[in-house]
Amino acid sequence: MIQRRDFLKQAACTSALMLSGGLPLHAAGSRCKIDVLLNEPIGAISPDIFGHFAEHIGGVIYDGIWVGEESAIPNYAGVRKALVDCMRRLRPSVVRWPGGCFADSYNWRDGVGPRHQRPSRANFWINTGFLQGAPDGPAKYEPNHFGTDEFITFCRLIDAEPYLAANVRGLSARDFHEWVEYCNAPAGATTLARQREAHGCRDPFRVRFWGVGNESWGCGGDFTPQEYATEFRRFTSWVPHFDVAPSFIAAGPNSWDESWTRGFFEALTRRGKGYLNRVYGWGLHYYCGTAGKGALDFGPDDWYELLRKGAAMDRLIRNHWTAMGEFDADHRVKLAIDEWGTWHPAGTEVHRTHLFGQTSTLRDALVAALTLDIFNRHADKVVMANIAQLVNNLQSLFLAHEDQFITTPNYHVFEMYAAHQKGQSVRTEFSAPDIHQGDGTLSGLAGSASLHGKRLVLTVVNPSITETRETEILIPGATVREASVRTLSHHDIRAHNSFENPNVLIPLDGRARITGSDLIYAFPPASAVRLTLDLV
* Active centre residues (catalytic): 215, 339
**Spatial separation of the C-alpha atoms in residues 274 and 270, rounded to whole Å:** 10
**SS3 of residue 182 by DSSP:** helix
DSSP conformational letter for 146: S
Backbone angles phi, psi at 187, to 5 degrees: -55, 125
* 245, 250, 255, 261 alpha-carbon torsion, rounded to 10°: -120
* Contact (CB, 8 A) for 67 and 132: no
Q: Are 15 and 507 in contact (CB under 8 A)?
A: no
Enumerate residues 6+ apart whose C-beta is below 8 A from 356: 57, 58, 130, 343, 346, 349, 393, 394
Burial of 450: CB neighbours in 10 Å, binned 0-12, 13-18, 19+: buried
C-alpha–C-alpha distance, residues 373 and 382, integer Å: 12
Single-letter code of the amino acid located at 147? G
Return the closest-CA partner of residue 400 out of 391, 409, 408. 391
Report the distance separating Cα 408 and Cα 528, nearest Å: 14
Contact 528, 473 (CB under 8 A): no
At residue 245, what are phi and psi to the nearest 5 degrees? -65, 120
> Which of 369, 533, 370 has the alpha carbon at shortest distance from 452?
533
Q: Please, are residues 32 and 444 in contact by the beta-carbon 8 Å criterion?
A: yes
The phi, psi pair for 373, rounded to 5°, reads -65, -40
Residue 440 β-bridge partners: 437
Neighbouring C-alpha atoms within 13 Å toward the C-beta of 396: 31
DSSP state of 25: P
Q: How many CB atoms lie within 10 A of CB 481?
A: 11
- What whole-number distance in Å separates Cα of residue 281 and Cα of residue 328? 13
CA–CA separation, 223 and 475 (whole Å): 50
Say how far apart CA 323 and CA 262 lie, in whole Å: 6
Beta carbons within 10 angstroms of residue 367's beta carbon = 27
Q: Please give the distance of CA 402 from its chain centroid, rounded to a whole number.
A: 25
CA–CA gap between residue 433 and residue 394 (Å, rounded): 31
Q: To 10 degrees, what angle do helices 173-184 and 148-158 make?
A: 50
Distance CA 107, CA 85 (A): 30
